[in-house]
Chain A
């Protein structure tokens, strides 16, 4: 009876979607920032996720058995290689010698689409976890008089 494996899988999916939500929030928060890390312009971030499988050490500890699928994981959070959006604002403190200010090239519409997809995926993981919970609770009723 490996209920815990199902909980673990759904939890890993929720963690991935939460990381994705964090980066979307970060991107949207920085839509108009002119100074990013090291004084360079901020670049939008993307979560790269992959399916997760138990390795040898996990197999030893795991409840789910050898070589089995174990949910999803965040592989890395990568900067998108997009060119900054240049806006002509000569008076701006961060303007270059020609009077252009570099803003991050973030597309709010595409960020919002990612946001909605992420929330839906998160909800689906919660549903799966609740289903596992109700199955486990029903199993406790075996042989009980009702």
Chain B
């Protein structure tokens, strides 16, 4: 619904929210396997890929943003963005730190989405909210 009004911003934020949840699942899985012998910790490289896609689309080197985002979305769903650590050990402190950062990122994204909604509301009502 907000897509029509929100345009690229709400689309990007929603995409980033999905990636944040995917990352939380990966971190939770690492923590669950902290005592599993031979388990390699996993991670998600999303932000750099997204920045690359936006930069490439802005430079109009090839294709527009929508098609690039679609392919990135496909990569996210097919777990192509998941990488494995080289060491066979889960660093618990690092995982907890990553988890806190990830939760903050999620909240920041939600905050941004809410602010955007308020701007749209202001535009609709023609007065301050």
Residue numbers of A with Cβ under 8 A of B are: 1-3, 5-6, 9-10, 12-14, 16-17, 20, 49-51, 64-65, 67-72, 117-118, 120-121, 124-125, 127-129, 131-132, 134-135, 138-139, 141-144
Determine if B35 and A121 form an interchain contact, defined as CB atoms under 8 angstroms apart.
yes
Q: Does B122 contact A (CB under 8 A)?
A: no
Q: Which residue of A lies closest to B77 (CB)?
A: A65
CB contacts (< 8 Å) of A3 on chain B: these are 21
Interface residues of B (CB under 8 A from A): 17-18, 20-21, 24-29, 31-37, 39, 42, 77, 79, 92, 95-96, 99-100, 102-103, 106-107, 110, 113-114, 117
With contacts defined as CB atoms under 8 Å apart, how many contacts are there between chain A and chain B in the complex? 108
Chain B residues within 8 Å of A131, by CB: 24, 99-100, 102-103
Q: How far is the CA of A20 from the CA of B33 in the complex (A)?
A: 13
Task: Supply 5 A–B pairs (Cβ within 8 Å), ascending by A.
Answer: A9-B25, A10-B32, A50-B36, A127-B31, A139-B17
Q: Is the CB of B21 within 8 A of A13?
A: no
Given contacts A65-B77, A125-B31, A135-B106, contact A72 B36 (CB under 8 A): yes
A132 touches B24 (CB 8 A): yes
Contact between B26 and A141, CB atoms less than 8 A apart? no
**Inside 8 A of B34's CB, which chain A residues have their CB?**
13, 121, 124
Return chain B residues, CB-CB under 8 Å to A70.
Answer: 29
Q: Quick check: A69 and B42 within 8 Å, CB to CB?
A: yes
Q: In the A-B complex, list the 3 residue pairs whose CB atoms are closest, starting with the nearest.
A: A13-B32, A71-B32, A128-B28
Q: Which residues from chain B contact A68 at a C-beta distance below 8 Å?
A: 25, 79
Complex partner residue of B28 from A6, A51, A144, CB under 8 angstroms: A6
